Amino acid sequence: MTRRSFSLTATAALAQNRRPLIATGGILHETNTFNPKKTTLADFATGIGGEGILRGEAILREHEKANSTMAGVIAGARQYGFDLYPTITAGPQTIGTVTDHAFETLMKELLEKLRARKFDGVILTLHGTMVTESHAHADAEVVRRVREALGPAMPIVVTHDFHANVSEEIIRYSTALITYKENPHLDPKDRGIQAARIIAATARGEIRPVQALEKPPMLYNLVFQNTYHGPLKPITDESKRLETQPKILAASVAGGYQWSDIPAMGPSVVVVTDNDIELARREAKRLSGMVWDTRHGLKLKLPDAAEAVRLASANAKHPVVLMDTGDNIGGGSAGDSTFILAEFIKQKAPGWFICISDPEAVKAAFRAGVGGVFDMPVGGKTDKLHGEPVRVKGRVKSLSDGQFMEPLARHGGMRYWDMGLTAVIEAEGSTRDLQNILQVTTKRVFPASLNQLISTGIYPDRQRILVAKGTVAPRAAYEPIAARIIETDTPGTTAVNPDRFVYKRIRKGLSGMY
């Protein structure tokens, strides 16, 4: 699959010897189509870490000190000598299908801002997995409408998450598309800088991007999408090596997102070159072949919650991190799964930590106050997929507003986080040396930062067992302190075994569909 270059001419900025003006913005959503809860405009307003919908200069203020894609775009504007015109960004927690009302409202504002001035190029920071009620690949619809509004000669560079499900349509309407290379995502800022470099050179008429797409016919299970180890590492390394070649502007290998039931679901390879479509096609096909050749080693064999807790308790070194794969908050799960919590209590496991999203439990803890008695069912309240509520007895150890900061490059690069009102419960069975800790939050926050614990008085390296509700994303934060990481086969809307779901719209015959 390929895209011919648009008929680009030297821009007005080049002709007038002035700094190019580049518009930037995006509507970002990772849509879990198996989550029945629709994503509304109010969910976009709430945001991922509390930022909500940002407009204009607020985008620059929010991201300038972060390690996000937009932070890279900001840094790249300075480095490559162009001015930025920030429009609108919106990105809620991963939930279910986006309502048409939310999409059309945000899309209308984005287009109004893009039509308001004359630009020399556009950088769209998208996720690559947004599904709306009317559009199976809504990211492509965003780019199509921007292309329609701004014309065939406008350079449009698109950034995507590593988990993007890339379609031929978005390749057709964009000038260049690049995805994160790394999972956990430690490189979003680098990709923003890369997008800035491509848009600047294109706007000045120095390069003429063309791109090719290949999609190996497979599901690449999230369990194997760690680009720092395992089957993907040499492929990721090769994509980086390719970008050292003068003619290759970008080489992206996206793992795909298995909880979006759409035709484009699955891994993708996109290679962007400077006006050499045959080179783009050849290298895209070669990288795609490397991805396809790993398929025989992608067999799932994970312990369930009971076995995982037994293994963690018996491990000689600590802390042991249990990845609650079925309740992967970043992937669109509820954040209140109780399967592992139930096993902690049943097995009397020592020195555990788990975070549960449960606004009712938070309210009860605040009523009791610090030092007060806590005794109520926790979790399992969103739906019937993530276990039943589990009774937890103990005392309220601390209360907080739930806000914290992550200054380092962690998964996704976000700097400011907001869990909402948050309580820490010291559960029954605790001793002075080994405390069983339940953290209950008002909002779902995926575990990308150890400061989620530290900010509420929890020292993760002192716990024997830590639960992170994710699969690969938490590793950037947790691997440095973990004696062992155990991926746990738990049920939920992000269960890693595709046999737990009924797919209706994906391509037929994909390898990896057990």
For residue 159, what are the β-bridge partners?
125, 178
What pLDDT is attached to residue 119?
95
Helix axes 277-292, 233-242, angle to 10 degrees: 170
Alpha helices in 384-478 (DSSP H): 451-454, 475-478
Closest CA to 155 of 111, 193, 195: 195
What distance, in Å, lies between the first and last C-alpha atoms of the chain?
A: 27
Q: Which residue has the tokens 């954040």?
A: 335
Q: Are 447 and 466 in contact (CB under 8 A)?
A: no
> What's domain 11-297's architecture?
3-Layer(aba) Sandwich (3.40)
List the domain boundaries for the chain.
11-297, 305-496
pLDDT digits (tens, 9 = 90+) for 466-502: 999 999 889 989 999 999 999 999 999 999 999 889 9
**Whole-Å CA distances, 21 to 63, 83, 196, 205:** 19, 5, 12, 14
More confident residue, 496 or 3: 496
The answer, yes or no, to whether residue 452 has pLDDT greater than 50, is: yes
pLDDT digits (tens, 9 = 90+) for 340-350: 999 999 999 99
**For a pLDDT cut of 70, what percent of the chain falls above it?**
95
The answer, yes or no, to whether residue 5 has pLDDT greater than 90, is: no
3-state secondary structure 372-408: CEEEEEECCCCCCCCCCCEEEEEEEEEEECCEEECCC
What pLDDT is attached to residue 9?
44
The 8-class DSSP code of residue 39 comes to B
Average pLDDT over residues 223-252: 96
Q: Are 444 and 452 in contact (CB under 8 A)?
A: no
pTM: 0.88
pLDDT digits (tens, 9 = 90+) for 36-79: 889 999 999 887 655 689 999 999 998 988 889 999 999 999 99
Distance of alpha carbon 421 from alpha carbon 354, whole angstroms: 16
- Cβ contacts of 261 within 8 Å, gap of 6 or more: 33, 34, 501, 503, 504, 505, 506
Q: Token digits for 247?
A: 């003619």
pLDDT digits (tens, 9 = 90+) for 286-297: 999 999 999 999
pLDDT digits (tens, 9 = 90+) for 12-42: 556 567 799 999 999 999 999 999 889 999 9
What pLDDT is attached to residue 407?
79
pLDDT band of residue 414 (cuts 50, 70, 90) is confident
SS3 507: coil
What pLDDT is attached to residue 332?
82
